[in-house]
Chain A
Amino acid sequence: MDKKYIDISENIIEENKELIPAPSASSDGSDEPKDINYWRSFRELYNDPSFRKEKSMEFHPGELDKPDLNTFSKFSRRKFLALLSASAAVAASGCSNYRDKGELIPYNKKPESVTVGNPTYYASTCTGCSSACGILIKTLDGRPVKVDGNPDHPVSKGKICAIGQASVMSLYDPERLKNPVERVNRVSPNNMDWKTADEKIIAELKSAAASGKEISVITHTVNSPSLKKLFDEFAKAYPTAKVYSYELFEDTPRNSAWEKCYGSKNYPLISWDKANIILSLESDFLGNEGNKVETSRLYTSGRDAINGKEFNRLYSVEGNASVTGMNSDYRLILKTDAIEEFVMCLLNELAGKEKISSYSSDAGIMSKLQSFNLKSFAEKYNLSEEVINHLVSDLKKNQGASYVSAGSMLPESTHIAVNMLNEVLGNSALYKKEVSNVKVMPLSTREELENLVSDLNSGKTTVVIHYDSNPVYHLPPDLGYADAVKKAKTIVSLSESDNESSNAGNYVLPVNSMFESWGDYQTRNNFFSLQQPVIAPIYNNRQKEDILMTWISGNPDSYNSDSYHKFVMDNWKANILSSAGTDSDFNRAWYAGLNDGVVMVSKKEAAAQEGENVPAPEVFNPASFVSNTSSMRSKDGFSLLLIKSGALGDGRHANNGWLQELPKPVSRIVWDNYAAISVQSAKALGVDSNDNISITTQSGKMDIPVFVQPGMADGVLAIELGYGRTVCGTVGLDAGFNANVLMTKNPALSRWFYNDVKAEKSSGKYELVSVQDQYPMDEPLYKDIQYRREIIQEGTYLQFKENPDFLHDRHTKYSEEETFKLKVGSINEQYKHTGTKWGMVIDLNKCIGCNECVAACSVENNIPVVGKEQAKKHRSMQWIRIDRYYSGTPETPKASFQPMLCQHCDFAPCENVCPVAATTHSADGINGMAYNRCVGTRYCSNNCPYKVRRFNYFNFRDHFKDGIQLEESFTLMQNPEVTVRSRGVMEKCTFCLQRIMDERQMAIQENRQVKGSNVKTACQEACNTNAISFGDQNDKESDIFKLNNSKLAYHVLEEIKVKPNVTYLAKLRNVYEIEKEEAHH
């Protein structure tokens, strides 16, 4: 320990090696929980002295590291150029008129809809993944600066995931391709112009078509009706053309199981909001499966304690520690390979023993179930019998109002068993009848992809077009695509930036991002959505569909940036708007569609369409279950789960720093993937977190660091895909490890789940950075301090129903008058906020810890990316963080998520200590920061009880990756309504002051009072589950007033009496126990 840092409590810690038990709050202590022990990490749980010391210190030692001056002298190219231009600017300014204030340049012809300074919103469609959610793009001065969900969109309902939020960074990415590139001999890239590129490629296409050689177009999911039509036309112009589509993550096992059971390939949509009991089997529907934006909204609509609704109950049975599992009421930890057996046992219990369904008389089914016994299964796997009994009786009681969800990585056989279980329970009542998913074009099957590879190898295919896809990275290595594609004569990649596949090719053509493109999408049968460009192409890039149309015409001069726009319009005129049955005048209907972003299909038409897609009425076919054979049991070795990263998706957004820096909800690790493993398995392997292990599957082998994840099942390895890109921009280049190499083309179970995987300790270490231990806001000397300090408040739903006041009985909530008298928290008098007083309420029952608010905040408030090294030093700049506390044992932890942001305390301790009055309070209750006044003493941060202030140790824009964030294109990304902070100033959440000021402007313009409900903060707008409410606390009519005074409301660290303006609603677990001792099993 460096002596330079003064640690006032150092002596105390040395003297008191053991923790002092906390003083008893109430004398009788009857309502006090006895065993709750919250901990953030193993360091805290096992009482690591270094962690205790860290918590007691003013700043984390790493935070105070002096910058290494040696690194400054090494000028990279980018730094050198920056310096050069800066010195040129200095020289130029020396000669110029010092009074010059630059120019003001108006439009030549201003569009009528634009008011300079006010945002314009456009409805569009997000193509960050295949979900095609509806988005509303905010543009200022013609620049898209913020993306939110489209409120009119039936799926998004105004919300969008982190990938959509952060997509503006991908738009302005300075490492996007700027010109068409010809890679001579597939090595040296040379810029070329579009006409030459088109000429050469058209010649290649023509010769391939003439000689009967196949042209393979490889793309991601095609969910655009017009694009499908365009592909058809392409195949007409070049008859040998064939379109392949693939996804790294898709739902094949679920859908093929559905086909076997019900005859159609289309798994239905689920009414999650109508399910009283949800059983999740390795299914992370809140974290990464399906359309999580919609699912999490529907799920948490059953978690509304304030409006007196009955709570739903979530059971999860899983081997991985997923977001869903960590949010569940009862969590059973089970190695993934036993899950199918568990389903069979459950079936036997419900259908065989309890005989709750007509299938109980089906001899075939019964004989299949006979050998399974839930009780002995529970004993064998050490599952809590009590929980199993609850589960069985709950499922029995809620027939037709429960749902069993199987993870999309589970094999087909498990999905068939789960379909049967849902059928037995009568849960088909929750399958949506009117609305269903639509596949515009099915994904290529495994056989088709294998044929593609063999055609490439045999020379049958000579031209490959990577249509905004990256198969070299995404496809399983044993498919052999990476080698086979090299045999093609011509490889053309249409891509936004360089990737593994474009690097193998001859031509790389820059294409438009979703902000620059036209398009139409259909994911469900009840609506179509439209995509429109909101900015002209930033570089010399073109829309990929326009490029294709040029090739179809065969004439390079025929290119027109508007041709696909016209194509979509024509297609809509001929095929879509007529069937949608909307306005008879096409133009009116089209522009209305563009305005709304979606066009609803009338019910009658939807039924007609469904008639085309789903011919037979869906009746469960029991034979599918009887003939179902499972090979899920693993002999020995590990079960390996390859999971989708909630933030990064399949890796195509790897160069997006905001997404890389978004902590994973459960492990809170940034910038890396890792092999999550249980405590016992880590011991068995002789490894600890950060140690490398080598993992071998039948197709590949890799080394990856281990992260010991509490709550994992023994013998399970979980690795996120989408990392370890080798050809990518500088941001994503060294982030994580490519676990795609573990996938095989011909998996026994599914592409994301492998049994009998070998794992052994390997050499070396690799440091993973988890931001969980950062910013602890509890004192180190007391045990159970989180509870005593009232950071996390929890109860059970039954407890709440029995005594709605249970929280306030044990929790001191000071009234307005009391605090007014107290004057404890501040040297100042209490200021009476008579007008508007801004406040926020966060409902912990609804918060699932997904971190999407963090992404939204970063975009809205110009938060820089700091990089892994700086994140490790506790220097992340995110204004809102989601703390995750565990309780219970390392083997069976429960998690509590808590968003933490500036609390805008009435008696703000930070304000008292600022020597220059840079942080001050306003009459409407906002704790403001005047950056130009701040001198960087960091006293405020030291004095902040919630640890929410962030200091700019560097100009992070300049510091991270050679100042990539200073590139000119990124300056277009900044929200002009928020100051871009520089080195040496403190910053923190402002309650989105710019949005409050917008409302004030509107109020004055309309000559009315400011209305709290008109202001939505960025985090609130982004919250999928509507956990965050914001508004005027003095407005008695408002929602926030009601929530503020609800029975579950509490303030974090109430006892220090700083009067925070962020109120939390205590989390209720819907378990059968009333006592909280349940934390230990």
Chain B
Amino acid sequence: MKNFLIDYNLKVRLPILLFVVLAVFAITYYVSYAERVGVGYQPVQPIAYSHKLHAGDLKIDCRYCHSDVEKSRHANIPSPKVCMNCHSIARKDRPEIIKLTDYYTRGIPIEWKRIHRVPDFAYFNHSVHVNKGIDCSNCHGDIAAMEVVEQVKDFSMRACLDCHRNPDQTIKNITPGKDKKLINNGPTNCSACHR
């Protein structure tokens, strides 16, 4: 009897248990991948700014606000002063614009929630990519259709390398006026991003 129990435990229960544990782990791993790399992250912003309205319906170029994207590592978040270029006249009565004007006049910077992020030990450079003609949407998705911005693409090293190795297949959109043929494979050596 005792032997049987041990036998049963070893031969049937243990493998089943192991299988279940591994299966759960594997499923969780794959299902949560998107979550882990941040896909779907859509925080509430201090001002309910709509990219859909501005970039989509009004067709304002991304670079009107993110003006340093061609000159710097960072695609800057515009300062309220840029918003006020229009909103000192336009739609002054809307509650969100009143909030914005308040930030501006009191001289308080707006603390936007960060959505996209690569780790500190990787040095991503916006200007290098944008100046080669790679459209923002390749990494950020169709921002112009988003009421509230969320992360839609994977920002892991795998995603970087996928694109650096096969830009022909992975790069969908090109900034108008640039030639897709000009885009060579990106560097894949470590020191291209890590220093």
Contact = CB atoms under 8 A, between A and B. Distances in A.
Contacts of B180: none
A997 interface: yes
B191 A104 contact: no
Contacts of A928: 189-191, 194-195
Contact of B81 (A110, A997, A1000): A110
Contacts of B41: 99, 101
A103 B111 contact: yes
B114 A108 contact: no
Contact of A923 (B112, B120, B125, B187): B187
Interface of B is mostly: loop
Contact of A931 (B76, B112, B194): B194
A116 B74 contact: yes
Interface stretch (B15-23, B47-55, B91-99, B127-135): B127-135
Contacts of A458: none
A673 B71 CA distance: 48
Contact of B77 (A106, A115, A921): A106
A101 B72 CA distance: 21
A978 B121 CA distance: 9
A406 B10 CA distance: 92
A899 to B, nearest CB: 21
A116 B125 CA distance: 12
Interface string B123-156: 1010110011000000000000000000000000
B43 A100 contact: yes
B70 A1005 contact: yes
Contact of B73 (A99, A106, A117, A929): A117
B81 A931 contact: no
Interface string A98-114: 01111111111110000
A997 B110 contact: no
A107 B121 CA distance: 25
A196 interface: no
Nearest to B116: A101
A193 B6 CA distance: 79
Given A109-B81, A116-B74, A104 B112 contact: yes
Contacts of A575: none
Interface string A926-959: 1011111100000000000000000000000000
Interface in A369-403: none
B177 interface: no
Interface of A is mostly: loop
Contacts of B78: 106
A110 B132 contact: no
Contact of B189 (A923, A1000, A1004): A923
A994 interface: yes
A101 B149 CA distance: 14
Contacts of B173: none
B93 to A, nearest CB: 22
Contacts of B131: 1004-1005, 1007
Interface in A891-942: 918, 920-923, 926, 928-933
A924 to B, nearest CB: 9
B72 A118 contact: yes
B175 interface: no
Given A108-B107, A928-B189, A993-B191, A977 B123 contact: yes
A101 B115 contact: yes
B68 A117 contact: yes
Contact of A997 (B70, B72, B113, B125): B125
Contact of B109 (A102, A107, A926, A933): A107
A103 B117 CA distance: 11
Contacts of B38: 99, 101
B29 to A, nearest CB: 17
B8 interface: no
Interface in A947-1000: 977-979, 990, 993-994, 997, 1000
Interface in A705-747: none
A106 B68 CA distance: 12
A102 B35 CA distance: 17
A1001 interface: yes
B1 interface: no
Given A100-B43, A106-B78, A979-B120, A922 B187 contact: yes
Contacts of B115: 101
Given A926-B191, A994-B123, 7 more contacts: A101-B117, A110-B79, A117-B73, A920-B191, A928-B191, A977-B195, A994-B195
Of all A-B residue pairs in the complex, the 5 with the closest CB atoms, nearest first, are A928-B191, A117-B72, A922-B189, A117-B74, A117-B73
25 contacts: A101-B41, A101-B115, A103-B114, A104-B111, A104-B113, A108-B79, A109-B80, A109-B81, A110-B76, A110-B81, A115-B71, A116-B72, A116-B74, A117-B76, A920-B190, A922-B190, A922-B191, A926-B191, A931-B121, A993-B191, A993-B195, A1001-B125, A1001-B127, A1005-B127, A1007-B131
Interface of A: 99-110, 115-118, 918, 920-923, 926, 928-933, 977-979, 990, 993-994, 997, 1000-1001, 1004-1005, 1007
